[in-house]
């Protein structure tokens, strides 16, 4: 993972190496970023957050699963009126990965137009920085881009 | 198939009322709810002293004790109050609470009230996380900052746009134009409804050419925020038998009252699945009532966005499976079509004060079954269905039938 120099340093943090954090904990950064799901050991249902029991079958054991990066667009919308502070327009989508997991994401590196984004379009996982905090720590989000 | 009031086990709508939906800067939600409650009881020629249970819902005032606030305005008789909150199914949940109490034999008569005052609160989005100066993982996904706009949208127009596009992905003949026709129809219907928040017709071109909120939903394909209240008085069949012939004639039977939540689905973990629980509720409602979708004279369903209405044609069995696009293209849900849908103007133009919505659609269908709907009356209507869905999710369906007397 490339480490970017701190945008802003303070006396307290000047000597601390800068770092990256994933926007959400189920995004695993590294040489080949991927999404980590909690997979039910009985029925295989996947969850990105923690569950007390599987919402599908009720079993209480989960293992970490690496979600495949290749996916197809199952549904999308082009958001023109976004929440305050969110740049628009952008493409919001629901994608289904090659191994059948449904993921919410933006479609990135793609013109936000219904002529460019297509239902069923092949996409793949990518990551990009979204900001840097006061300690020079960079937040990294995931998105899917046309494959 | 007119309903027989001589069956004492049934539950009936005795009185009902809704305020005009809109904006009431000079009133508060307690005023609106109380006004509607009083009018619904007057409509049924009963008073608060006849009520044995009160269920009240106001999503944004859930912690304020809406039922008790209403009692202080209209009569504190000491009856049990149930305050309910179930997202956009809040009003339907209030009705079902009273329905269950009567079915259980705990009460003979009760009042359900739904109310909301939203003013011009703007677009509803997910909770925005405060921008922090240092990134610290928090919450169930360990997010270091707000995810809305980075990991897809939490804005309602977009969430429901995606639900519609999922249907378009799975079925042919569904696209921007079919979704836009829903809004064209509902705006047109609302012109006949004096209680609607907006009563202006728009051409299909105007609907499609309006500013895009979340493609394919344009501004005219999204429901507005607003204020309003609606109420129903429910009565047991046994008690109804002892009431006047006029009351019996105007009473409307609740042939099915159903509430469902989400069963597990894979995609429902990240995109609200508004379909499965609606299908389940519809199946139960048709089974309980013995009513077939083809028997329905009118349907009031949850068109919070134009993309949502189209899905429910299919979910409620109003069209062939997968055929919602063809059905609207053929005019099926229009006023003069096979099964008129949202003749009130729907949430898109009648308005959607959240807590009131699930009661207002029962008001609407009841009014048609009584033959009292004026200019917008669906002629000869004897059976109708109401549907709401609250994200999270919760789906309420009521099937109503005209009295035989």
List pLDDT tens digits, range A84-128: 888 899 999 999 999 999 999 999 999 999 999 999 999 999 999
Q: What is the pLDDT of residue B3?
A: 65
Average pLDDT over residues B250-262: 98
Q: What is the pLDDT of residue A11?
A: 43
**Residues in chain A within 8 Å Cβ distance of B310:** none
The complex's ipTM? 0.91
Q: With respect to residue B166, please indicate whether it lies within any of the assigned structural domains.
A: no
Q: What is the pLDDT of residue B126?
A: 65
Question: A50, A75, A130: best mutation site toward chain B, by most B Cβ within 10 Å?
Answer: A75
How far off is chain B from A8, nearest CA to CA, in Å? Answer: 11
Q: Of B128, B141, B152, which is closest to A92 when you measure between CB atoms?
A: B152
Average pLDDT over residues B369-395: 97
Does residue A101 belong to the interface with chain B, where contact is any CB pair within 8 Å?
yes
Average pLDDT over residues B267-292: 96
Average pLDDT over residues A33-38: 98
Cis link prior to A71 (omega < 30° from 0)? no
Q: List, in sequence order, every residue forming a beta bridge with B305; answer none if it has no partner.
A: B222
**Residues in chain A within 8 Å Cβ distance of B216:** 77, 114
How far off is chain A from B260, nearest CA to CA, in Å? Answer: 16
Does residue A26 belong to the interface with chain B, where contact is any CB pair within 8 Å?
yes
Q: What is the pLDDT of residue B7?
A: 67
Residue A70 has pLDDT above 60, yes or no: yes
Interfacial B residues in 31-90 facing A (CB < 8 Å) = none
Question: Poorest-confidence range of A57-61, B132-136, B171-175, B282-286?
Answer: B132-136
Does residue A120 belong to the interface with chain B, where contact is any CB pair within 8 Å?
yes
* Sequence-separated (6 or more) residues with CB below 8 Å from residue B66: B29, B33, B56, B57, B58, B83, B113, B115, B355
Q: With respect to residue B363, please indicate whether it lies within any of the assigned structural domains.
A: yes
Interface contact flag, B123 A119, Cβ < 8 Å: no
Q: Where in the sequence is the domain holding B44, given as residue range(s)?
A: 11-121+224-402
Residues B193, B220, B124, A117, CA torsion sign? positive
CB neighbour class for B283 (10 Å; exposed up to 12, middle 13-18, buried from 19): middle
Interface contact flag, B270 A75, Cβ < 8 Å: no
**Residues in chain B within 8 Å Cβ distance of A120:** 169
What is the chain A residue with the closest CA to B307? A77
User: CA–CA separation, B90 vs B402, rounded Å?
Assistant: 25
Query: Over the stretch B347-365, which tens digit does the pLDDT of each residue have?
Result: 999 999 999 999 999 999 9
Q: Of A76, A94, A135, which is closest to B134 when you measure between CB atoms?
A: A135
CATH number where B242 lies: 3.40.47.10
Does residue A126 belong to the interface with chain B, where contact is any CB pair within 8 Å?
no
Q: With respect to residue B279, please indicate whether it lies within any of the assigned structural domains.
A: yes
Number of folded domains in chain B?
1
- Cα radius of gyration (chain A): 18
Q: What is the pLDDT of residue A85?
A: 81
Q: What is the pLDDT of residue B177?
A: 98
How far off is chain A from B29, nearest CA to CA, in Å? Answer: 26
**Residues in chain A within 8 Å Cβ distance of B169:** 73-75, 119-120
Q: With respect to residue B3, please indicate whether it lies within any of the assigned structural domains.
A: no
Q: How many CB pairs under 8 A join A and B?
A: 161
Average pLDDT over residues B13-41: 98
Q: What is the pLDDT of residue B123?
A: 78
Contact assessment for residue B129 and residue B140, using Cβ atoms and an 8 Å cutoff: no
Mean pLDDT score across all residues of chain B: 95
Query: Over the stretch B110-158, which tens digit does the pLDDT of each residue have?
Result: 999 999 999 888 878 765 555 668 999 999 999 999 999 999 999 999 9
**Residues in chain A within 8 Å Cβ distance of B129:** none
Residue A6 has pLDDT above 80, yes or no: no
Does residue A58 belong to the interface with chain B, where contact is any CB pair within 8 Å?
no
The structure tokens 């984004």 sit at: A117
Q: With respect to residue B143, please indicate whether it lies within any of the assigned structural domains.
A: no
Cis link prior to B152 (omega < 30° from 0)? no
Q: With respect to residue B129, please indicate whether it lies within any of the assigned structural domains.
A: no
- Quick one: tokens of B280? 């389940």
Up-side HSE of residue A112: CA atoms within 13 Å toward CB? 17
Q: What is the pLDDT of residue A3?
A: 45
- Quick one: tokens of B177? 């134009």
The CA-based diameter of chain A, rounded to the nearest angstrom, is: 53
Q: What is the pLDDT of residue B5?
A: 57
- % of chain B residues with pLDDT over 90: 93
Query: Over the stretch B232-252, which tens digit does the pLDDT of each residue have?
Result: 999 999 999 999 999 999 999
Q: Of B128, B141, B213, which is closest to A49 when you measure between CB atoms?
A: B141
Query: Over the stretch B54-108, which tens digit does the pLDDT of each residue have?
Result: 999 999 999 999 999 999 999 999 999 999 999 999 999 999 999 999 999 999 9
Q: With respect to residue B176, please indicate whether it lies within any of the assigned structural domains.
A: no
**Residues in chain A within 8 Å Cβ distance of B225:** none
Q: What is the pLDDT of residue B350?
A: 98
Q: What is the pLDDT of residue B384?
A: 98
Interface contact flag, A75 B271, Cβ < 8 Å: yes
Q: What is the pLDDT of residue B397?
A: 98
Q: What is the pLDDT of residue A40?
A: 98
Query: Over the stretch B195-214, which tens digit does the pLDDT of each residue have?
Result: 999 999 999 999 999 999 99
Q: What is the pLDDT of residue B8?
A: 72
Q: What is the pLDDT of residue A84?
A: 82
Interfacial B residues in 209-228 facing A (CB < 8 Å) = 211-217
Q: Of B128, B152, B213, which is closest to A84 when you measure between CB atoms?
A: B128
Q: With respect to residue B295, please indicate whether it lies within any of the assigned structural domains.
A: yes
Interfacial B residues in 150-169 facing A (CB < 8 Å) = 150-155, 157-158, 161-163, 165-166, 168-169
């Amino acid at each position: 993972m490339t480490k970017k120099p701190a945008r802003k340093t303070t006396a307290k943090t000047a000597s601390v190496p800068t770092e990256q954090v994933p926007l959400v904990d189920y995004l695993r950064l590294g040489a080949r970023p991927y999404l980590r799901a909690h997979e039910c050991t009985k029925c295989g249902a996947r969850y990105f957050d923690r569950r007390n029991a599987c919402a599908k079958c009720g079993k209480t054991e989960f293992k970490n699963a690496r979600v495949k990066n290749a996916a197809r667009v199952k549904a999308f919308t082009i958001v023109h009126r976004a929440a305050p502070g969110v740049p628009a327009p952008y493409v919001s989508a629901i994608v289904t990965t090659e191994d059948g997991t449904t993921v919410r994401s933006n479609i990135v590196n793609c013109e936000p137009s219904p002529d460019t984004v297509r239902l069923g379009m092949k996409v793949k996982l990518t990551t990009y920085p979204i900001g840097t905090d006061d300690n020079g720590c960079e937040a990294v989000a995931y998105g899917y881009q046309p494959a | 198939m007119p309903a027989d009031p001589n069956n004492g086990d049934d539950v009936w709508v005795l009185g009902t009322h809704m305020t005009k939906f809109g904006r009431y800067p000079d009133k508060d939600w307690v005023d609106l709810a109380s006004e509607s409650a009083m009018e619904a009881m007057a409509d049924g020629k009963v008073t608060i002293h006849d009520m044995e249970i009160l269920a009240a819902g106001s999503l944004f005032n859930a912690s304020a004790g809406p039922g008790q606030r209403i009692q202080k305005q209209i009569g504190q008789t000491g009856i049990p109050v149930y305050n309910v909150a179930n997202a956009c199914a809040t009003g339907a949940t209030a009705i079902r609470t009273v329905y269950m109490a009567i079915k259980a034999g705990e009460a003979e008569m009760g009042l359900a009230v739904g109310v909301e005052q939203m003013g011009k609160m703007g677009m509803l989005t997910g909770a925005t996380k405060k921008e922090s100066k240092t990134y610290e993982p928090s919450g169930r996904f360990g997010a270091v900052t707000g995810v809305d706009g980075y990991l897809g949208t939490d804005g309602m127009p977009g969430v429901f746009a995606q639900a519609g596009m999922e249907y378009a992905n799975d079925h042919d003949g569904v696209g921007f134009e079919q979704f836009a026709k829903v809004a064209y129809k509902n705006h047109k219907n609302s012109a006949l409804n004096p209680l609607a928040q907006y009563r202006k017709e728009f051409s299909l071109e105007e609907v499609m050419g309006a500013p895009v909120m979340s493609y394919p939903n344009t501004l005219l394909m999204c429901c507005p925020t607003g204020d309003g209240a609606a109420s129903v008085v429910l009565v047991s069949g046994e008690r109804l038998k002892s009431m006047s012939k006029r009351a019996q004639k105007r009473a409307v039977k609740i042939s099915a009252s159903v509430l469902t939540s989400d069963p597990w689905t894979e995609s429902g973990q990240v995109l609200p699945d508004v379909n499965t629980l609606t299908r389940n509720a519809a199946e139960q409602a048709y089974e309980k009532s013995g009513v077939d979708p083809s028997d329905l004279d009118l349907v009031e369903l949850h068109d919070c966005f134009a993309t949502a209405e189209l899905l429910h044609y299919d979910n409620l069995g109003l069209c062939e499976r997968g055929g919602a696009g063809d059905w609207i293209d053929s005019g099926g849900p229009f006023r003069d079509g096979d099964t008129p849908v949202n003749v009130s103007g729907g949430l898109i133009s009648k308005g959607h004060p959240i807590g009131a919505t699930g009661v207002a659609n029962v008001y609407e269908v009841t009014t048609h079954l009584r033959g009292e709907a004026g200019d917008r009356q669906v002629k000869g209507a004897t059976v109708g269905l109401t549907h709401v869905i609250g994200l999270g999710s919760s789906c309420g369906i009521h099937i109503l039938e005209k009295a035989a007397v």
